[in-house]
Structure 1
Amino acid sequence: MLNLARNTLKRVPSFQELLQGTMGSAKEEVSVDVLVIGAGPTGLGAAKRLNQIDGPSWLIVDSNETPGGLASTDVTPEGFLYDVGGHVIFSHYKYFDDCIDEALPNDDDWYTHQRISYVRCKSLWVPYPFQNNISMLPKEDQVKCIEGMIDAAMEARVSNTKPKNFEEWIMRMMGSGVAELFMRPYNYKVWAVPVEKMQCQWLGERVAAPDVKKVTTNVILGKTAGNWGPNATFRFPARDGTGGIWKAVAKTLPKSKTRFGDHGTVNKVDADNKRVVLKDGTVINYNKLVNTMAVDALVECMGDKQLIDLSKGLFYSSTHVIGVGIRGERPERIGDKCWLYFPEDDCPFYRATIFSNYSPYNQPQADEKLATMQLANGSKPSSTQPKEGPYWSIMLEVSESSMKPVDGKNLLRDCIQGLVNTEMLKPTDEIVSTYHRRFDHGYPTPSLEREGVLTKLLPALQGKDIWSRGRFGSWRYEVGNQDHSFMLGVEAVDNIVNGAVELTLNYPDFVNGRHNGERRLVDGAQAFAKKGGRDDVA
């Protein structure tokens, strides 16, 4: 069993205790057909679909004051924006595109970028994906990687078994050279767990399998491979960061059907009687529940010991998001880079995003006067007198678990030193703003135990008329992007209302397949049926 980051959870009061005043007497009672818990992308997807369907009464609640969940954006006192991790918009669904375009309809609401991404290895910038661009490595490492790929290809040809875990998949697909230089150390930094403790069914389009012939050709000719993956082109909102998207989507919903903050915080879920008690004492009666809070937190709110014990087989890592705002022109060494990967141990972060490159409004304008807090080498500035910019910014991500502990108190300092170590910053660069926030549930781990838990837990909840969906609601990272998450909510509602198949939850390989670039709710289901899927497609 993995022992990853986990909340220390207190006893949940009974429904009767809540009503009798242990946590405040009920001041209001509401009844709806469908209650949606959580206003991140999944909850908003569910609410959006419910609002389109003429029939069910509904309500959406969220403990945060603003919508967005794990796709929200914070702003520092100095005016630098930072997302909750590295989010960009790329889509597998036409329905999703239509909804966010309705929310942000103008051309100047968006910037479109071509991904420029690198891996930092051996003090070199190797174009992403690493395994397709080993031509940029020193000759001895090129040889090591190609030999490993050839051995892996020969092994894969004769093997009659599938890889049992992520480690075996890496060795089977990429070989020992790429595994040693990049895949093992990088994935440990991301997931905070060794790769042999992870399954490999989640991979899909997220990891590029190298073509040995093309890689060898590129090495001989000294060429790099072209962009790969669904996010080779992506969009980013001009203003308000990623969180601005979801605030805009929420504004397309009736305000009377949304509750935030204390008025939207769930204290107790009484699944047997289909009632929810909010922090302010409100009791909500429902017929169906779409839950998007973390499923381990949900079953604690339910007080169901059997499901609580079952959920303990799910694991996750926590994420620290670090932001650094710098005075000065964006340096040439940074250029138009988008996000960068760091497998080596000269820095604590696994990914850096040049967040100022996404939008000129992600940082203060040049005429804003800010004081220098420190230099990148940690020394004090010669003057703390506020002065003008221009400014640029870097956003970093660091994972944490019991298998990969983090010195939280000194993490900001260590990350800034890591930026100097990797030549992202020069020692004398002026830092005018810093940001550090820890998110307890950062990544849902595709552990070896995951499917054994989910195949019991999710049906058990649905048997109680609870559709638990979303990045942590259904715990499937392979369908955890913003578009996936939104559609998990949409498809849950369609399943509730008319019995439609939930493609994204149940068939991630299909929805991620490149053969099906645009999907509408019905068109996608029909296409799936034609390709030999289940025969109960609506």
Structure 2
Amino acid sequence: MGADINVDVLVIGAGPTGLGAAKRLNQLNGPSWLILDSNEKAGGLASTDVTPEGFLYDVGGHVIFSHYKYFDDCINEALPREDDWSTHQRISYVRYKGVWVPYPFQNNVSILPKEDQVKAMDGLIDAAMECRVANTKPQNFDEWILRMQGVGLADMFMRPYNYKVWAVPTTKMQCQWLGERVAAPDLKTVTKNVILNKVAGNWGPNATFRFPTRDGTGGIWIAVAETLPKGKKMFGKDNEVVKVEADKKVVTLKSGKTIGYGKLINTMAVDHLVEAMGNQELVKLSKGLFYSSTHVIGVGIRGARPERIGDKCWLYFPEDNCPFYRATIFSNYSEFNQPQADVKLPTIALANGSKPSSSDAKEGPYWSIMLEVSQSSMKPVDEENLLKDCIQGLINTEMVKPEDEIVSTYHRKFDHGYPTPSLEREGVLKELLPKLQDMDIYSRGRFGSWRYEVGNQDHSFMLGVEAADHIVTGSVELTLNYPDFVNTRQNNERRLAQTFAFGAASEAKSNGTNGTQELPTRERAASNVSATGGHSRKSSKQVK
């Protein structure tokens, strides 16, 4: 008995990865395809929620910066007007001993108290001397930190902060994922800045970033989804995938409908995928993958943005005087991320927990803070009191004052928050992903392929694009297989030249070629490189 629907390529999940795959399949104008998602709207882990009071919160700290021209072209097509976007210079700090230290912490030792400057410089000098004679590579993230920054900075910032982020000690993480995500300090520059009492300039690929003017990050992906043919999208709770029969190449949905496929691009968490497959060998293998959960907390406050907040973007908190590791001043990203000043809202409570003097609704203006808290079996969280504890943490870190009026709160837990780059990860992925691909299942995305180093929105989108290209043209999946290559900031010629011709594959076929003449610059550049080669469900395993 055949399936209810049959397609050449089925895409599970309409987050950035699934939309990247669908976008590219639609441009190639070759195989038949369909995209599914159990949510009513596109976005996945890059969605945006709106509180009843009108405050917007992304489901995590998302901003737009890009390693790929194709990614830029697709989101600019979806949001083409100049006023669709705001461009920001990152203003970011680390809160340490009551002082705002400019990010990155390790480049701004000059801001620290004198005794901590001495500890940091001692460690940096020891690390530099060790690097000169070391003949082995660091075996884990903790060893990398000590090798690059020394014990002083490790104990002050890197160890406590990364534990708060990953909910696992740095000794249990590998270090191959780091790339451009962690700044390695230059000893001479740090020393000069300490002596001259100077602050280091902005660092990193997101020193300048874009943000949509309206509808938050989720608005980008809703707009991208709207560029796809309506008849090839199946969104809504009835379209949740409940079973994947890899041998029959059939997917069963919650509604009972079945879909047959030739190739499957999966973007749900790979541990959930293998559970849906019922493949006990792969389920057992996936138990070697670890993750942490993320709580996103939002606090809407009445009043003009205070001077102490200014134009800050996102802020880091390594100390234990607050449960959150990062705070984003979400109202600074767009004037439409909170209600307009003439909207009247009652005060829920003062920040110190006391009742307001009046329950009458009053006008604004308003501003907002978004907080992130990690959780795992190694780092438990008092979920029932987390919102209250976070607001107290905001007072402890002088982000808000006890008498500030809170008019809105938001709390949402994401079971799969961060895919942990654990020591075991590569061993699992090198076995699991090829086994799935042998079954014509391409598992891609933040949790689909479980590589955090290519887990930003641009990476995730391109993981889908490149999976589609591989299926149709056999081209190399650079982002999946060569994270360091796509993350190389000096590789600007490749990025600027990279583009995708609409309908390239179909044109090549009509010309009697195999399509190689029309391949994007990215694939041609990769010809000298050897290839190696959604849906929300309950978790199967957390970090242990």
TM-score bracket, normalised by the shorter chain, equals over 0.9
Q: Specify which of 517, 524, 528 is matched with residue 522 of structure 2.
A: 524
How many angstroms apart in 1 are the aligned matches of 2:130 and 2:355?
56
Q: Which residue of 1 aligns with 2:278?
A: 303
* 2:445 alignment partner AA: G
Cα displacement (A) at 1:54: 1.5
Identical counterparts, % of pairs: 77
| Secondary structure at the counterpart of residue 349 of structure 1 | coil
The number of aligned residues is 510
Residue of structure 1 in register with 2:503 after alignment: none
Match for residue 398 of structure 2 among 417, 423, 428:
423
Q: Which 5+ residue runs of structure 2 have no aligned equivalent?
A: 501-519, 534-544
State whether structure 2 residue 380 is matched by structure 1 residue 380.
no
Corresponding residue to 2:20 among 13, 30, 45: 45
Partner of 1:22: none
Q: Distance in 2 between matches of 1:259 and 1:157?
A: 57
Instruction: Verify the 8 A CA contact 2:476 2:526 in the aligned structure 1.
Output: no
Task: Report what 1:328 is aligned to.
Answer: 303
Structure 1 residues 536 and 241, CA gap change in structure 2 (3 angstroms): closer
SS at match of 2:126: helix
| C-alpha separation in 1, matches of 2:97 and 2:227 | 49
How far, CA to CA, are the matches of 1:536 and 1:61 in structure 2? Answer: 28
Going from structure 1 to structure 2, the CA distance change for 1:263 and 1:53 (only over 3 Å counts) comes to: farther
1:414 is matched with: 389
From 257, 260, 263, the counterpart of 2:238: 263
User: In 2, distance between residues paired with 1:527 and 1:90?
Assistant: 22
Instruction: State the partner residue of 2:250.
Output: 275
Any idea what SS the aligned residue of 1:174 has? Answer: helix
- Between the aligned partners of 1:528 and 1:336, the Cα distance in structure 2 is 41
Cα shift at 1:535: 8.0
Structure 1 residue 355: deviation in Å? 0.1
Aligned-partner SS, 2:373 = strand
Aligned partners of 1:238 and 1:138: how far apart in 2?
39
Question: SS at 2:39's partner residue?
Answer: coil
- Opposite residue 524 of structure 1, the aligned amino acid is R
Residue 501 of structure 1 corresponds to which residue in structure 2? 476
Q: What's the counterpart of residue 534 of structure 1?
A: 530
Q: Cα deviation per residue 1:121-169 (whole Å; 9 max; x = unaligned)?
A: 0100000000000100011101110110010010011000000000000
The 1-side partners of 2:191 and 2:318 are apart by 23
Tell me what 1:370 maps to. 345
Residues 235-282 of structure 1, C-alpha deviations (whole Å, 9 max, x = no match) = 000000000000000000011100111332101000000000011111
For residue 293 of structure 1, the aligned residue among 268, 283, 286 is 268
Aligned-pair CA distance for 1:536: 10
> Alpha-carbon deviations, 1:165-207, whole Å to 9, x = none?
0000000000011101000000000000000000000000000
Instruction: Write the distance in 2 (CA, Å) between the matches of 1:129 and 1:535.
Output: 35
**Alignment gaps of 5+ in structure 1:** 1-18, 20-25
Given the two structures, how large is their TM-score scaled by the length of structure 1?
0.94
2:58 to 83, 87, 93: 83
SS at match of 1:404: coil
List structure 1 runs of 4+ shifted beyond 4 angstroms: none
In 2, the alpha carbon distance for the partners of 1:48 and 1:56 equals: 13
Q: Distance in 2 between matches of 1:30 and 1:189?
A: 46
1:169-188 pair list within 5 angstroms = 169-188=144-163
Q: Does 1:152 align with 2:127?
A: yes
Q: Distance in 2 between matches of 1:264 and 1:66?
A: 12
TM-score by length of 2: 0.93
SS at match of 1:297: helix
Distance in structure 2 (CA, Å) of the matches to 1:199 and 1:524: 29
SS in structure 1 at match of 2:408: strand
3-state DSSP of counterpart to 1:330: coil
Query: In the TM superposition, what whole-angstrom CA distance separates every residue of 1:294-344 from its partner, at most 9, and x where no partner exists?
Result: 000000000000000000000000000000000000000000000000000
Cα RMSD, aligned residues only = 1.3
